Amino acid sequence: MEAVNSEATASPVPFGVDASEFEPGLARGWIAALPDFALGLTFLAAWLAPATMPAGSVKHLLLVMLLEFIIIHSSAFLGSVAIRGGPRGPRIMGIATLGLFYSIFAGAFSLAFHSWWPILSFWGLMLNRMLGVLIGQAPGEQQKAFIQRTWAASALFYLLGCFITILLPLPALGLTPGVVASLHLPGSGAWISQPHRAMGFGFLYFTAVACSELGSHGWMRNWKASKS
């Protein structure tokens, strides 16, 4: 009877989260997910009603999606350097070297859009990733697995979102041809001529990442186990 009552009153565990990790991971999951939910809603607002957004919002959101590609690509290498053992010095040098390399791409975006925002944001993220190494925090096995799941989930959502929003028809909604012409977006390509695709991409991508973060990307672990 006591066992039945304890099960009935237990808090529900989100899909994909190991019960042993639920209590310490729930609050962290929400903390990690809220900024991505906010970004997803920002992209949706720019897609639905760009006139209500601050000037230059669509251009800045385009930069966000371009910068996100660099972050995902670099994370695979940065993560492998950060979680490997050994002295902190070589790991810090490895992360800094990779950061300088990827700064070339962030700098190219800065030049193309006449803004320092991409390069500054990239290095802000870089310093955030170096913090654990700088203070001597060595990730445990569960943390290493979490870093790997985070990268895999982000890369998968980015590729799927890019495929869906580039190849499939999407409504322009608030980003009509007249509105797009008034934005004076630099460059060329599908995202420049049809920025509603990038806004839809951002909405789908960041919302999917946020939902996955709520469960600590546990579905990746379950999916991998089902394939083995």
The tokens of 100 are what?
A: 């300088």
Residue 33 has pLDDT above 70, yes or no: yes
Instruction: Tell me the C-alpha distance between 73 and 64, whole Å.
Output: 14
Residue 44 has pLDDT above 90, yes or no: yes
The model's pTM is 0.74
Instruction: Tell me the C-alpha distance between 206 and 33, whole Å.
Output: 9
Most confident of 115-119, 140-144, 217-221: 115-119
Encode pLDDT of 86-133 as tens digits.
666 777 787 778 778 888 888 887 887 777 877 887 777 666 555 444
Angle at 28 between CA 23 and CA 29, to 5 degrees: 90
A 10 A CB-CB count for 20 gives: 10
Residue predicted with more confidence, 181 or 150: 181
Separation of CA 172 from chain center: 24
Nearest Cα to Cα of residue 165 among 191, 192, 186, 189: 191
Encode pLDDT of 58-84 as tens digits.
988 988 888 888 888 877 777 677 666
Output DSSP code: residue 13.
P
